[in-house]
Amino acid sequence: MDAVDVGIERAKLPFRGQVLKLNKVRISSKHFGIQPERTEAQRLLTAMSEFLREGSRMVFDVDFATVSMVDLLPDGDVKSHLKKAESLLQQKEYWNSIIESRASSYSLIDEHYNIAKFKSPIALGLGAYSLAPYWTRSIEWIEKNVRDPFDYIQLDNDGIEKKLLSAGIPPETYWNLQKMAPDLYLSQGVWHVKDDPRKEAEFGNEETATYCLEIAVELALGHEAYNQRLRSAAGGYSLNVTVQDWAVPVYEKADRASPVIVTLEPAITVYGMYRTPGITEGDESLFWRVLHIEDSSKYFGQTYFGYIHVDDVSGHRCAPYGSE
């Protein structure tokens, strides 16, 4: 510490006494087996947190919570929000910094619980996705219960906790951030912030903004580490199935005896999902599971999911999205 004090000139590192005391506790524990008192360890933890924050600002002119950690994240919305939160914290715009920290967790978690898409009667047919409780994903429920934009986010608390725990992330990391920050809602690229003066008066300060940024970074890094551990099938590929040069039936089940739900025009291409054996025991036929939108130029074009026999398929092509 003396060498650092000399290097920074006209200033001395803060909490010098507490740092030296921590070192004595460390030596006593490591070399003499003396266990420190819990209350003393808690006091030193608080002091060391403040030492790291103030020392980082004094020596490096950065906030300790963001030293190198945000840069470990891949480019994207989450990293962008955390960078903005860091900048706003340095500018002493504490409430706006908290909002950006919260936006990062929204991008990670909340957006998967958005039920707004289920306002459309074709949402289910188009495979609309949401982790919100199933009873909230209907036009009737939305019309009865959604009264402002923030009601479109319907969280499944148990599901969130299970996912966080499976990723090794303490659930309180997310819940504390949600408690201190305002509710958000993202619609068509526009962020909506719930204007809650009481919450801003209670939490819109430097200490809370710093804490929110720290736990938002912790949440993002834990999520990224979990994703890195996962191995999944390639999700960036499209599968197109072209039918034969005749009218082709799409069956309700993987069985030629099942009802025909639609008949395709000759030689058209539909979206493929996978190939499967027939459902009838002993039947060695193969079928393609497909998705067909009757008129993709129309927003309300009829959508069909069904099965096409392989004999009615002239070929298929699997390629990265965006390729020709």
Task: List, as one string, the DSSP characters of 203-243.
Answer: H-SHHHHHHHHHHHHHHHHHHHHHHHH------SEEEEEEE
In this prediction, residue 234 carries a pLDDT of 46
Domains of the chain: 2-60 (no CATH), 66-229 (no CATH), 237-320 (2.30.30)
Where residue 300 falls among pLDDT bands split at 50, 70, 90?
A: very low
| Surface-to-core class of residue 181, CB atoms within 10 Å of its CB (0-12 exposed, 13-18 middle, 19+ buried) | buried
Q: Using CA atoms, how far apart are residues 214 and 220, in angstroms rounded to an integer?
A: 10
Could you report the per-residue pLDDT of 127-162, keeping only the tens digit for each?
457 889 989 988 899 999 999 999 999 999 999 999
Which one-letter amino acid corresponds to residue 234?
Answer: A
CA 41/CA 146 separation, integer angstroms:
48
Look at 14-23, 75-84, 184-193, 195-204 and tell me which has the smallest mean pLDDT.
14-23
Distance CA 189, CA 278 (A): 44
State the distance between the two ends of the chain, measured CA to CA, in whole angstroms. Answer: 62
Distance CA 292, CA 269 (A): 9
Give the pLDDT of residue 196: 93
Please give the average per-residue pLDDT across 192-213, as a whole number: 95
Average pLDDT over residues 190-203: 95
Average pLDDT, the chain: 85
Helix (H, G, I), strand (E, B) or coil at 7: helix
List Cβ neighbours of 186 (8 Å cut-off, separation of 6 or more).
106, 111, 192
Closest CA to 66 of 220, 209, 173, 213: 213
Q: State residue 125's pLDDT score.
A: 44
Please report, rounded to a whole number, the percentage of residues in the chain having pLDDT higher than 70. Answer: 85
Written as one letter, the residue type at 201 is: A
Least reliable range by pLDDT among 9-13, 112-116, 164-168, 266-270: 9-13
- Of the two residues 226 and 234, the one the predictor is more confident about is 226
Task: Report how far residue 245's alpha carbon sits from residue 258's, in angstroms, rounded to the nearest whole number.
Answer: 22
More confident residue, 234 or 16: 16
Top-confidence residue, 89 or 24: 89
Q: Which residues pair with 24 in a beta bridge?
A: none
pLDDT tens-digit map of 13-66: 677 788 888 888 888 888 888 888 888 888 888 888 788 778 777 777 777 765
Tell which wins on pLDDT, 55 or 80. 80
Task: Compare 300 and 119 and report the one with higher pLDDT.
Answer: 119
pLDDT of residue 295: 56
Q: Are 105 and 178 in contact (CB under 8 A)?
A: yes
pTM beyond cutoff 0.85 = no
Long-range contacts of residues 49-55, Cβ cutoff 8 Å, at least 24 apart? 50/14, 50/15, 51/13, 51/14, 51/15, 51/18, 51/19, 53/210, 54/14, 54/15, 55/13, 55/14
Residue 74 pLDDT level (bands cut at 50, 70, 90): confident
pLDDT at 127: 47
Q: Could you give the CA distance from residue 74 to residue 320 in angstroms, rounded to a whole number?
A: 21
Q: How confident is the model at residue 299 (pLDDT cuts 50, 70, 90)?
A: very low
Dmax over CA atoms of the chain, in Å, equals 88
For the chain, the C-alpha Rg in angstroms (whole number) is: 28
Task: Give 235-279 pLDDT, tens digit per residue.
Answer: 567 789 999 999 999 999 999 999 999 899 999 999 898 999 999
Nearest to 292 by CA among 269, 260, 310, 320: 269
**What crossing angle do the helices spanning 38-60 and 16-32 adopt, rounded to 10°?**
130
Which two structure tokens, joined as six digits, stand for 54?
């103030």
Predicted confidence band of residue 293 (pLDDT cuts 50, 70, 90): confident
The closest of 73, 52, 74 to 63, measured between CA atoms, is: 52
pLDDT for 218 equals 92
Using a pLDDT cut of 90, give the percent of the chain over it. 52
Across residues 278-285, what is the average pLDDT? Answer: 87
Q: How confident is the model at residue 5 (pLDDT cuts 50, 70, 90)?
A: low
What pLDDT score was predicted for residue 279? 92
Q: What is the pLDDT of residue 167?
A: 85
